[in-house]
Structure 1
Amino acid sequence: MPAGAGDCYGSGHSPYRKVAHVRENPHQILPAPRARLLSAVAALALAVAIAGCASQAARDAATETVMFEHQRSSTHRDGDDLLSAGLGIDGLRQMLPPAFADAEDPTAAELRRRALWSNWRGIADLGPGGGYGELYGSVDAVPGREFSAYATVPGAKHPHRVLLQLPDDFDAGRRCVVVTASSGSRGIYGSIAVAGAWGLPRGCAVAYTDKGAGSDYFDLDAGIGFGRDGRAVAKDTASDLAFVPDASEAATGVAFKHAHSQDNPEADWGHHVKQAAEFALQALGEALPAQAPFTFDNTRVIAVGISNGGGAVLRAAELEGDWLDAVVAGEPNVHVEGQGGRTLYDYTTEAALLMPCALLDIDSLPQPPLLTQVTPLYAARCASLAAEGLLSGADTAAQAREAHDALRDAGWSDEALRAGALSAGFDLWRAVAATYASAYGRYGVGEGPCGFSFAAQGTDFLPRPATAAERAAWWPDASGIPPGSGVGLVDAGMAPPDLTLKGLQCLRGLWTGEGADADRVRAGIAATRAAPPRAGLPVVVVHGLDDGLIPVAFSSAPYVAHARAAGRDVRYWQVRNVQHFDGFLALPDYGARYLPLLPYVYEALDRVDAHLDGAALPADAVIDTTPRGAAALEASHLAMPR
């Protein structure tokens, strides 16, 4: 994405924002036709400004003219709110999701409430004794308004969702926007527990992007997708569907944006974040016209995300222009060349093949998985790998040791392998690999390599059409990558005795092998490589040393080394006894062994915010924590650096 025009506007405001903030009704942002008209006016003004510009580029000049379509606004007060839709900590802790009055036709308000419930529970440890809302974090009600739209990265086939949450107590005297990207492949509320929980109680507006993934599934059997308010709508009767795949009328099953958009969204993660920030400034100008204009010059912008969202904000950090004030990246999925860096696809396919066998050689695995249930499956994997000539041990124990040694030689720590047991037990590696192979290769519906597809499944795991009730819940409940919410991964190559081996070998071959498909996937992966952050930009990276999904040795550590080699001052917190999923700390054994990552992300945000007011940046730290065991979490367990 190129930088914008030079400093030719006096106050440094882009002509787009100058025009866009003026309107009669402050409670709604511009409808799409008017937005398009203003975008055209802005483009003309921008061209004139460039022609007469001779001075250096200003900060706002890095802002691009972006068209936001299918815009929508809503108010959330009086028993509803921005953080939890009125559920509060007690409602979020309920084991069952908020019910729909009509399971086949939920309202937009019901869908939003359920999406917030689902995303909070998927990201944060809300269990009693876990400390959330008491020792750290907040779900206190924050009334306000939401503004949403679709934005499209230049060259992309499909839009991504952007959303701004504007609290009623927005601090106009210290205007602040926290911009974030969803973790994993989650929908638009996928970072509510990360950015919303920190920013909204402080009077900041919070801007979100689903970064080209999300839960906008498409039912190929019924021709039904999801509109801007999250409701299921037939393709033939709606113009605002978030995702309509390029597929034949005969296609069956389920398509979803991450796998089937043909956009390789990961390559544009940084641009998604920047467009969300752009949308925030426009929406603020619309909603608060007396305080407009809102610009990158007069509004503090801090980016934060975890996991894939952490990778996204680091990719945003490398974009040209002084539009971003600080970045906090937690457990980021980020890839750099050299310094020991490895791509997610490389170590995911490696783990999918070897880890089930290797885990049989590792003591004291967290539970689940229950060893009595998985040992026969894991032993079968050892035997399969030996039969393929990939292992040479004479028995299961020797084969497991060999697989274990191979992973350690590849850079896996035993701490990462122990925590990764959950991903192996849930078959997460295979689902991630199949999805990312399709995304990296820009494959469409029915084109993906290795015979994988996705469909609703019954108890027999055979593909079938989805019911209306199942489909209605996809948007709020789905994590963006099946299996889940009734949608499963269909593997055409499944065969005994090791049912998934053939498909996994095919997926691994797309990284290690030869051929057109392998070249296509590797080209897509190369497009996701990160660069150092912009010089002078404060960046703090926070990562758990026990992370078994995105090990620090392959991601954060190489990124920090790469950035420092380029002369960038990136600060790095490494936290002992922290794995990847705070949401899994509700499992007793995980809660006893591991600590949450979110307190350290919030603390890092506090530190960079203070730094922007003149304080020093936090120093590097290896944080020696203490697992809480059966006790309630206390500050002493966290050992927060001071």
Structure 2
Amino acid sequence: MKIFCAVSIVLMSIGVARAGELPVWLHEEKVTHYDGTSDDLVTAGMGAEAMTGAAPRFADPLHPTAQELRRASVFYRASKGQGYGRLFGPHVDQETGQSFDDEGRIAGDEVLAYADDGGGRQNVAMLLQIPSDLSTERRCLIAIPVAGSASLFRDIVDFGYWGLRHRCAVVYNDKGHGNGFHLLENDTVILIDGPQVPAQAAGSKAHFRADLDEAARTSFLAAWPHRVAFKAAHSKQNPEKDWGTDLLRSVQFAFVELVKRDPGFTRENTIVIATGSSNGGGAVLYGAEKDAAHLLDGVVAREPQVQLKPDDRVVVKRGTLERRGTGRSLLDYFSFGNLYQPCAVLAVTDIPLRDRVPFAANRCQSLHDKGLLTSATLDAQAREALDRMHAYGWDEETDVGHAFGYFVAPDATATKYVNDHGRFDVRDRVCGYSYAATDADGRPVAVPPDLASAIFSVAPGGAPAGTIDVVNDNDPTGARRSWLSVSPSTGRQDFNLDGAVCIRELVTGNSPGSQRVKTGIDEFLASGQLHGLPTIIVHGRNDDRVPVSFSSRPYLGLNNIVDGESANLRYIEVTNAEHFGTDLPGFDTRMVPLVLYHLRALDLMWAHLTRKTPLPPSQVVRTTPRGGEPGKAPMLQSVNVPSISAAPSEGDRILVDHGRVLVPD
């Protein structure tokens, strides 16, 4: 009775239910204890050093267990060259640089749950990790919306372990975007803990199930064999509008569980920090803006994919370049980049992975033929495409990532979000795009059984995932993987320019489809109002995926306007840092890992909340690349990655006043 009353009191204090009630949206699924030796919360029993080796394998590739799928999902390929295991990592004491004896293994409990209105369409997955040495002297909770559309386990070895090392509970949520697949031909779906089961058997417990009855599924497959649907594109929920709510609900879920175990946990005596990366970083900002119940004490956002309400009072000036306004929505800049980026790579010398964009010249010619470029020669067309990207908001520092950025498939990302925001059905095949496994020639085939069984752990939440990729159903030679397909209007392999033009129209045009997409975007645009909540944003200047000019820089200006004197946001811009943290040849010599600054920002926030240490001023942190030969760069050293300064020089300080942001070169 004592615990029941304690839960009720906490629920009332965070405003989620009346006395005696649990949140109606909360559905708890599974509790598992890990001993910290054979299995654990951070490395799934592998040990931190295993993250620099080969990914774990399944005993039976066609029938992996839930625990094997979890282990494969936890696996995070880390690079010793970038400092993993020396400067950071779950087995490294960042203050001393010494290694922990436990190899990063931490014992404790995991609780899986999901938030849903009862219909089984939302099913926002949540994961709470409670370390066995959970602190009761300084109670704390770290809330993490996972990056991308990946599984709940994606960010544990990247930075989630930071909370466990501080003896905090850590709660994750997938923002309603997680890696739920419906393999339509098999009619199988994924459960919250990974196994694939028949859709009928899963019922409302499916992580995602396409909105098709049996007749509709059969009819669709008869016309378009082998197709698949996935949650991040086809949920018809536009989940981004609820990312902030999902974050706050995950905090509420965590308190329900923590109070069951220790009635001493209250909102008042528990430090709560929200942190995330990429669209997880955007989600923590959205959550902070919605935090009317004051569930959060601090926020740390890394390279946030955050989209802002238009406000021309915001001005960002860097050197002599001045940009007015609050940046651009993801679909705006993705659909623009999807047009020009493959041509622009030819204008950048010594660019990593340039050879991975084989039809770049064809794209240039097709853009010219459609009047989207005016230059006559290939070199001039490539230069014009790059100039257009710069004029649209990409800084020159992002050029190094254009080939890799396009290789990572902006067409798949653009089509995913168009479907998502417009609430399109899988049967709509927007702009002639669908999704399927493909053979070596790019033709749709049945999903290989070993990929189907492992998709929970290997998929990033959508295409591309193994052999599953975006397909151009309008190729005149027959449906084919978009990357290899021919555009009907050009007759060329030009990365499906027709599809890219169609997607662009849905973002900028006035068709009924375009209105659906724009309505969806308007539902989640950020206000910039953080209510004075202590917040640190860290972002890499070379980010090609979420460029700073579209997101973090204008967010600083908008927050300064709406929060005014109460604004408590610090912005840290790191040179020589890009979005993915890749250590591929050509990046190893030029880039430093932004995750290191994410961890340092968490340390600064912790010091601020526990010891009242002032947050550092907004600033540019100037790093030094490792140099050397591509693919053989020397080990990253501390001298390459200077700390965030408590007193940066005037030439490094980022200033903001009345919405005007001044960023030093």
- TM-score scaled by structure 2? 0.83
Please say if residues 137 and 599 of structure 1, whose CA atoms lie closer than 8 Å, have aligned partners that are also in contact.
no
What is aligned with 1:174?
A: 138
What is aligned with 1:302?
A: 273
Please say if residues 61 and 453 of structure 2, whose CA atoms lie closer than 8 Å, have aligned partners that are also in contact.
yes
Please say if residues 189 and 202 of structure 2, whose CA atoms lie closer than 8 Å, have aligned partners that are also in contact.
no
What is aligned with 2:578?
A: 579
2:172 aligns with one of 189, 205, 208? 208
Residue 194 (structure 1) shift: 4.2
2:8 aligns with one of 9, 12, 15? 15
Q: Does the residue aligned with 1:301 lie in a helix, a strand or coil?
A: strand
Q: Deviations over 1:319-371 (max 9, x none)?
A: 12211000000000011123341011011011111111122122231x2233x
**Aligned positions, number:** 577
Assess, with a 3 A threshold, how the Cα gap between structure 1 residues 601 and 301 changes in structure 2: closer, same or farther: same
Equivalent residue letter for 1:334: V
Q: Deviations over 1:393-448 (max 9, x none)?
A: 1111111121122111112111112223201134x110100000000001122124
Assess, with a 3 A threshold, how the Cα gap between structure 1 residues 282 and 634 changes in structure 2: closer, same or farther: same
1:622 aligns with one of 591, 612, 620? 620
Residue 572 (structure 1) shift: 0.4
Q: Which structure would you say has the larger RCO, counting Cα contacts within 8 Å and 6 or more residues apart?
A: 1
List aligned pairs for 1:88-107, cutoff 5 A.
88-95=47-54, 97-107=55-65
Q: Does 1:604 align with 2:601?
A: yes
Q: Does 1:505 align with 2:539?
A: no
Residue 500 (structure 1) shift: 0.7
What is aligned with 2:211?
A: 246
Q: Does the residue aligned with 1:590 lie in a helix, a strand or coil?
A: coil
Assess, with a 3 A threshold, how the Cα gap between structure 1 residues 317 and 114 changes in structure 2: closer, same or farther: same
Assess, with a 3 A threshold, how the Cα gap between structure 1 residues 242 and 637 changes in structure 2: closer, same or farther: same
Q: Which moved more, 1:252-261 or 1:492-501?
A: 492-501
Assess, with a 3 A threshold, how the Cα gap between structure 1 residues 45 and 149 changes in structure 2: closer, same or farther: closer
1:161 aligns with one of 125, 136, 139? 125
Q: Does the residue aligned with 1:255 lie in a helix, a strand or coil?
A: strand
Counterpart Cα distance in 2 of 1:44 and 1:571? 39
List aligned pairs for 1:140-539, cutoff 5 A.
140-152=104-116, 157-239=121-203, 240-247=205-212, 248-250=216-218, 251-252=220-221, 253-286=227-260, 288=261, 291-319=262-290, 320-336=292-308, 337-338=310-311, 339-365=325-351, 367-370=352-355, 374=357, 377-426=359-408, 428-494=409-475, 495=486, 496-497=491-492, 498-539=494-535
Counterpart Cα distance in 1 of 2:117 and 2:28? 16
Please say if residues 331 and 543 of structure 1, whose CA atoms lie closer than 8 Å, have aligned partners that are also in contact.
yes
Residue 44 (structure 1) shift: 6.7
Q: Which moved more, 1:256-265 or 1:337-346?
A: 337-346
Q: Which consecutive residues of structure 2, in runs of 5 or more, have no partner in the other structure?
A: 92-103, 222-226, 312-324, 476-485, 628-632, 646-665
Please say if residues 178 and 195 of structure 1, whose CA atoms lie closer than 8 Å, have aligned partners that are also in contact.
no
What is aligned with 1:87?
A: 46
Residue 45 (structure 1) shift: 5.6
Q: Does the residue aligned with 1:608 lie in a helix, a strand or coil?
A: helix
Equivalent residue letter for 1:619: P
Please say if residues 149 and 163 of structure 1, whose CA atoms lie closer than 8 Å, have aligned partners that are also in contact.
yes
Residue 193 (structure 1) shift: 3.1
Counterpart Cα distance in 1 of 2:158 and 2:283? 14
What is aligned with 1:26?
A: none
Q: Percent identity between the aligned chains?
A: 36
1:592 aligns with one of 570, 586, 589? 589
Equivalent residue letter for 1:640: S
Q: Does 1:544 align with 2:540?
A: yes
What is aligned with 1:49?
A: none
Equivalent residue letter for 2:353: P
Counterpart Cα distance in 1 of 2:505 and 2:635? 46
Please say if residues 83 and 142 of structure 1, whose CA atoms lie closer than 8 Å, have aligned partners that are also in contact.
yes
Q: Does the residue aligned with 2:604 lie in a helix, a strand or coil?
A: helix
Counterpart Cα distance in 1 of 2:361 and 2:450? 39
What is aligned with 1:633?
A: 636
Residue 192 (structure 1) shift: 1.3
Counterpart Cα distance in 1 of 2:12 and 2:405? 49
Counterpart Cα distance in 1 of 2:62 and 2:185? 17
Residue 512 (structure 1) shift: 1.6
Counterpart Cα distance in 2 of 1:596 and 1:168? 30
Residue 146 (structure 1) shift: 0.3
Counterpart Cα distance in 1 of 2:191 and 2:642? 45
Residue 14 (structure 1) shift: 6.9
Q: Does the residue aligned with 1:111 lie in a helix, a strand or coil?
A: helix
Counterpart Cα distance in 1 of 2:429 and 2:520? 14
List aligned pairs for 1:25-64, cutoff 5 A.
43=18
Residue 154 (structure 1) shift: 9.5
Residue 229 (structure 1) shift: 2.2
Counterpart Cα distance in 1 of 2:12 and 2:190? 31
Assess, with a 3 A threshold, how the Cα gap between structure 1 residues 70 and 635 changes in structure 2: closer, same or farther: same
What is aligned with 2:316?
A: none
Q: Does the residue aligned with 1:416 lie in a helix, a strand or coil?
A: helix
Please say if residues 332 and 550 of structure 1, whose CA atoms lie closer than 8 Å, have aligned partners that are also in contact.
yes
Assess, with a 3 A threshold, how the Cα gap between structure 1 residues 107 and 620 changes in structure 2: closer, same or farther: same
Assess, with a 3 A threshold, how the Cα gap between structure 1 residues 153 and 611 changes in structure 2: closer, same or farther: farther
Residue 13 (structure 1) shift: 7.1
Counterpart Cα distance in 2 of 1:18 and 1:267? 24
1:130 aligns with one of 76, 82, 86? 82
What is aligned with 1:112?
A: 70
Assess, with a 3 A threshold, how the Cα gap between structure 1 residues 154 and 388 changes in structure 2: closer, same or farther: farther
Equivalent residue letter for 2:364: C
Counterpart Cα distance in 2 of 1:220 and 1:197? 36
Counterpart Cα distance in 2 of 1:363 and 1:369? 9
Q: Deviations over 1:441-465 (max 9, x none)?
A: 0112212421211112222222222
Assess, with a 3 A threshold, how the Cα gap between structure 1 residues 177 and 153 changes in structure 2: closer, same or farther: farther
